[in-house]
Homo-oligomer: A and B are copies of this chain.
Amino acid sequence: MSEHTYYNQALHGPFETHDIGDLALEEGGTLRACTLAYSTHGTLNAARDNAILVPTWYSGTTKIMEQVYIGEGHALDPGKYFIIVVSQIGSGTSSSPHNTAAPFNASRFPKVRIGDDVRAQHRLLTEKFGITQLALVFGGSMGAQQTYEWAVRFPAMVKRAAPLAGTAKNKPNVFMMGEVIRNILTSDPAFDGGFYGDSARMHNALRQHAHFFTVIGWCHEFLHAEMWRALGFSSLEDFTTGFMEGYFLPMDPNDLLAMVWKWQRGDVSRHTGGDLAAALARITAKVTVMPIETDLIFPPEVCAVEAALVPGANLQVIKSRCGHLGLFAIEPDYMEQIDRHLRELLGTVV
């Protein structure tokens, strides 16, 4: 395929890709030649026990996780750990609607679940790297959904897990947020059942998507205090256009829709017939649950209910006035908190 104007090495790399083969999907159907985009940082030690897996969030790829969370001075230190960041299916760099050949392209891309991502990542880790244990799985938002799924599905492999700003079982209000996104993206006259061709034709819907994310992604504290001024914006409209529209405009709507569908249905209790307590009780990893204080999508009190169902889990609410998108670490004291909690978790003998 030709190089995409956004999902490319220049903007999201360097990343590697690995074809794990055909992936039989939980919803039925097959994702053929399932390809994961990933990046690694540091070196796998001889004992193969210093591996950390970092899955990605909605609209993100390996790049944002590297830029924000990984590096010397951070808990995720490539000098100590072998860190593998894997872009989720649908992210635009791994197998996604926009980069899949017809006839399974665009809106014919099969329905993928969080569990499919985790099984695909498991194949990558075991077959490509020979990794059979993970010192830590750490992810934010949809990355937290994958983190919980890892800890429930492969308890023997996951020593520690740190879900940040996300849940083990998606909640109905968050499902409805996904419905709003789906409405916005699919009702644009340019959508044409998903066969819009050039995603630039979908700019109106992508701009509206950005406005909706301004409402749910940030929080009243952030917007009321005009914290966007610190990012170089001069008015609310300047911010929503320059930052929010600018962020989402280059993305592919079908890729976003594939992720939204998955996000809406993340649920570890699928392993236990709908019994969330039973699913979370399967976790043997040492877990630190980190909700963000002002998060409107995954409020701390919701995350706390799940944390209480995880044996021995440590609940640490991240102080922030940015809501869910505190994840971008624009506050000076944000990463210090994340690093402190991750270091404590990594220092725990399991």
Contacts and interface: CB of A to CB of B under 8 A. Distances in A.
Interface of A: 171-177, 179-180, 183-184, 187-189, 204-205, 208, 211-212, 214-216, 218-220, 223-224, 226, 236, 240, 296, 299, 302
5 contacts: A173-B218, A174-B220, A176-B236, A180-B215, A189-B189
A208 B220 contact: no
A224 B187 contact: no
A220 B179 contact: no
Given A176-B211, A183-B211, A187-B204, 14 more contacts: A171-B223, A171-B224, A172-B223, A173-B214, A173-B218, A173-B219, A173-B224, A179-B240, A180-B212, A183-B208, A187-B188, A187-B205, A215-B216, A220-B299
Given A176-B214, A224-B173, A208 B187 contact: yes
A236 B172 CA distance: 8
Contacts of A218: 173
Copies held by the complex: 2
Contacts of A177: 215
A contact face: mostly helix, strand, loop, or mixed: helix
A209 to B, nearest CB: 9
A194 B339 CA distance: 52
A211 B302 contact: no
A216 B211 CA distance: 14
B236 A175 contact: yes
Nearest to A215: B176
Q: Which 5 pairs show the lowest CB-CB distances between chains A and B?
A: A172-B223, A183-B208, A173-B220, A173-B223, A189-B189
Contacts of A236: 172, 175-176
A302 B177 CA distance: 23
Contacts of A220: 171-174, 299, 302
A215 B211 CA distance: 14
A172 B215 contact: no
A215 B175 CA distance: 9
Contacts of A211: 176, 179-180, 183
A171 B188 CA distance: 28
A220 B205 CA distance: 26
A212 B171 CA distance: 16
B176 A240 contact: yes
Contacts of A175: 236
Contacts of A172: 220, 223-224, 226, 236
Among A180, A214, A236, residue most surrounded by chain B Cβ atoms (within 10 Å): A180
Nearest to A218: B173
Contacts of A204: 187
A200 to B, nearest CB: 17
A338 to B, nearest CB: 24
A305 to B, nearest CB: 9
Contacts of A212: 180, 212
